[in-house]
Amino acid sequence: MTAETINVEQCAELLHCTEQRIEELTRSGELPGMKFGRGWIYVKADLLAYIAERARKEAEERRQDLNARKSVPRLDIPHRPRRQTPPPLPVPAKAFAQGPRP
């Protein structure tokens, strides 16, 4: 099995961002890359593992946030029914005085 290596341009395409952002993430140690000559090279399998790990971590954070919001009762908002029964329509007084119309 061979490890496929890619350059900064291909890495940016894979991660859907700019080449400058890839180089920033690599220099900070966020992305696994290696300086080779004047440019950076990356092992594609390592990048895919990085994406999978990051996606799992973010999904877990969203799940914890959602569970925390569900467990706290919202006391600040009073419960109001969505629809209220409309008030009865007023009956005109002339209709009773004249009787039914022919």
What's the average pLDDT block by block, 10 residues per block, for the chain (102 residues)?
83 94 94 92 94 94 86 68 81 66 59
The pLDDT value recorded for residue 1 is 41
The pLDDT value recorded for residue 70 is 78
Q: Do the strands 5-7 and 34-36 form a parallel or antiparallel pair, or are they unpaired?
A: unpaired
> What are the two backbone dihedrals, phi and then psi, of residue 39, each rounded to the nearest 5 degrees?
-125, 180
The pLDDT value recorded for residue 58 is 94
Task: Give start and end residues of each alpha helix (H) in the chain.
Answer: 8-15, 19-27, 44-71, 93-98
Radius of gyration of the chain (CA): 32
pLDDT tens digit string along 15-37?
999 999 999 999 999 999 999 89
